[in-house]
Amino acid sequence: MKPILVFQTDFTYKEGAVSSMYGVVKRVDRELEIFDSTHEVPNYDIWSASFRLFQPMKFWPEGTVFVSVVDPGVGTPRKASIALTNNGYYIVTPDNGTLTHVDKVYGIKRIIEIDIDTHRLKGLGTEGISVFHGRDVFAYCAARLASGQVPFEAFGHEYPVSEIVRFELLEPYQEAGRVGGMAEIIDPNFGNLWTNIPMAYLADRLGEKVQVQVYDGEGARVFDEEIVIHKTFGDVPKGALTIYQNEYGNASIAINQGSFIRQYPIPYGANIRIEMIFRGDL
């Protein structure tokens, strides 16, 4: 069976960009299966693209080809790349930080810089266009790879994985009286804030109150509230703050049947630090 193609972008469905990419895939090979991951990555938000690329990956069959196009540097010297992960997936994307989470969690085994002059859509009048590599380079090359028309190594030159563009990640930690890490991402539908702090750090603290503090990239405290740790939303009064375990096993903050991030519009991302302090232990 041919590999599946899974796409994510910041294009939305408000116009025909996504349809154009899928049309290119089907021009290459009508048999290829295409699925959406999300097209609602916030505009130009490479950090969110990195997290959303990693988020569903392990649930897809090995060999799946992921295409991620969040590319504010389109047309600049940033590398267009195809990466092969240690766990057997391919990723076609600009090398602009999008590979950070996948590399951290699964590892990148090899990476190729696409020779765009050779490997891009031709014959439809788009050769001189530099602002839609999602259609003319990434979708096209992903389809050629998945169809077996071009092998991985033939798309360009390989470069060291050490040269991949990465965000710096704040590692979670556990100390006497406190745990900490990153305010990593939001759940945009329900408005919850996800951290990278393993819930295992809090497993023996269910029902306890903890002082939660969030610091922005300049080190300023932007949130400081006492919150109870719960096992399930069924134990939380409607409208109350809670710390709970998200579907990836990490501690997250929510308002039961409300939106935490709407009520507390705090930042998230690589430099946003969060601490949970157990006052009784200090």
What pLDDT does residue 131 have?
A: 87
- Grouping H, G, I as helix, E, B as strand and the rest as coil, residue 148 is coil
What are the CA-CA distances from residue 28 to residues 6, 134, 136, 140, 141 (Å)? 16, 15, 12, 7, 9
In eight-state DSSP terms, residue 12 is: -
CA distance 274 to 211: 10
What pLDDT does residue 279 have?
A: 79
| DSSP state string for 112-133 | EEE-TTTSS--SSS-TT--S-H
Q: How far apart are the first and last CA of the chain?
A: 58
- CA-based nearest residue to 195, from 264, 252, 271: 252
- Grouping H, G, I as helix, E, B as strand and the rest as coil, residue 204 is helix
- CA-based nearest residue to 2, from 77, 90, 69, 83: 90
Q: Give the dihedral of Cα atoms 51, 52, 55, 60; nearest 10 deg.
A: -140
- Report pTM: 0.94
CA distance 19 to 10: 14
What pLDDT does residue 281 have?
A: 64
- Grouping H, G, I as helix, E, B as strand and the rest as coil, residue 64 is coil
Q: How many residues does the chain have?
A: 282
As averages over each run of 10 residues, the pLDDT of the chain (282 residues) reads 97 96 98 98 97 97 98 90 98 97 97 96 91 94 98 98 96 95 96 96 92 95 96 92 94 96 94 92 57
222 phi/psi in degrees, rounded to 5? -115, -5
**Strands 5-9, 65-69: parallel, antiparallel or unpaired by DSSP?**
parallel
